Amino acid sequence: MRKPSVADRVLLLLSIKEEGKYIGIEHIHEKVARDVKAFDGSDLTRDQLESEVHTLIVNGLVEESAGKYAITDKGEMELRNRLNEISDGLNLSYLTVWKARNYYPKAARVLLPFLIGRPVSVIKVFSGKEDPIHQLEPLFVRYKRYRPKPQFISISNEQELLAYVDDHCVDFIPYVSRFNSNYPDYLILDLDAGERLKQEEKGFLMVKAVAEAIVDLMEEARINYLLKFSGSRGFQIWAALDNSNKLISEKSDAYAFYRQLAIDIRNYVEKRLEEDKKWISDYDLGEIKWPVTSSTVAKKEERSEQVLIDWSSMKPNGDVRAPYSMHYKTAMISLPIPPSELRGFKREAALVENVLAAPIKEFPPPVPSDPSELFRILSITRTCLNRLIS
């Protein structure tokens, strides 16, 4: 690693502007001087900056038009070649946006099926006020406009998606239901280690083990599902159930049904993990504290050493990070993976540069499947569901 130069910072700033947009020297000086000050405490004068920009122009890395500046294709290539050496000292939000602008044009085709036809929230990132080098400020945006009444964001094609990326949106969070629907399209099971467990290496392995147990249940019940890395330290299972099944369609609140179903799955999986402990040696986990899992979303301190099976997106206007979206905190991809690759999966595989190193594998949204066998395995009947969810 080496210290980023002023020229590096100028190139990064210009690279995250939409194509064809030229930036004035005042704006460049304001942003670059701020980052230099945050990084090492030094002051960057306007004359020093103009000298650096002049050198970039002479070298063909920046071009000038009417007193404003834009990066050239050569400058983009030069920045790309330098980034691995200097990334630790650059503005974190700029670097995240740069990764998004390079990633989404190649991923839009596989991401779009998870966004089309439903409301989508987006997360924009800005420079951290206290420390722009190591912190960013996220802005969660739910509506396209607020007046005369709130209008949800919708994304129907690649052009609309990339326009949001140009506006520094790096994370895409679709709703679990389509427009004007009272039924979720997916049962989302979000797996994450408790705070204390997360600090240990075996925490990630335990999340894998729980994900594997749920996947085994879905396979046994012949449920169509998608398994994906969360983009941070967890996994999600997106199971698609046929909502025309009477145990679902007869309920006045389908979301409550799905929440209870998630809890029933947690209870079933916990029992399986306790009865057949081979997974402990398979994952080389050593001593285990029981119970392994929890479906209690609140009271974090009580589940700090358990794997949470989180059902909280199962609600009206519930949303969840899309497969193939970038996680705004980590700049890693929420990557779908084949179940056969779960045990060997490493978080580094979700780094943008690794995802883009080969053609992106396409995992389409799972189609609705008959949940009857799942209900049978879980001993769910109309009688018990009426008791649990009236």
Are 309 and 192 contained in the same domain?
yes
Q: Which two tokens stand for residue 90?
A: 């650059």
Q: Cα(97)–Cα(104) distance, rounded to whole angstroms?
A: 10
pLDDT in single tens digits along all 390 residues of the chain: 789 999 999 999 999 998 889 999 999 999 999 999 999 999 999 999 999 999 999 999 999 999 999 999 999 999 999 998 999 999 999 999 999 999 999 999 999 999 999 999 999 999 999 999 999 999 999 999 988 889 999 999 999 999 999 999 999 999 999 999 999 999 999 999 999 999 998 999 999 999 999 999 999 999 999 999 999 999 999 999 999 999 999 999 999 999 999 999 999 999 999 999 999 999 999 999 999 999 999 889 999 999 999 999 999 999 999 999 999 999 999 999 999 999 999 999 999 999 999 999 999 999 999 999 999 999 975 444 444 443
Q: Measuring CA to CA, which residue among 249, 187, 184 is closest to residue 382?
A: 249
- For 300-356, give the DSSP string: GGGGTTSEEEE-TT-STT-B-PPTTPBPTTT-BB--B--GGGTTT--GGGGBHHHHT
Are 227 and 307 contained in the same domain?
yes
Residue 17 in any domain: the answer is yes
Domain that holds residue 81: 6-89
Q: What is the pLDDT of residue 147?
A: 87
Are 132 and 263 contained in the same domain?
no
Residue 345 in any domain: the answer is no
Residue 153 DSSP symbol:
-
CATH number at residue 65: 1.10.10.10
- Could you tell me if 330 and 221 are in contact, meaning their C-beta atoms sit under 8 angstroms apart? no
Residue 328 in any domain: the answer is no
Residue 180 in any domain: the answer is no
Q: What is the pLDDT of residue 383?
A: 44
Among 89, 108, 124, which residue terminates a domain? Answer: 89
For the chain, what is the domain count?
A: 3
CA distances (Å), 280 to each of 189, 192, 206, 207, 266, in order? 22, 18, 9, 12, 18
CA distances (Å), 366 to each of 80, 238, 370, in order? 36, 8, 12
Are 238 and 384 contained in the same domain?
yes
Are 226 and 294 contained in the same domain?
yes
Handedness of CA 169, 174, 175, 181 (dihedral sign): positive
Are 286 and 375 contained in the same domain?
yes
Among 150, 174, 198, which residue terminates a domain? Answer: 174
Are 107 and 125 contained in the same domain?
yes
Residue 230 in any domain: the answer is yes
Are 228 and 296 contained in the same domain?
yes
What SS3 state is found at 364? coil
Are 247 and 374 contained in the same domain?
yes
- Could you tell me if 173 and 121 are in contact, meaning their C-beta atoms sit under 8 angstroms apart? yes
Are 222 and 264 contained in the same domain?
yes
Are 206 and 280 contained in the same domain?
yes
Q: Which two tokens stand for residue 47?
A: 């004359």
Among 72, 89, 106, which residue terminates a domain? Answer: 89
Are 246 and 111 contained in the same domain?
no
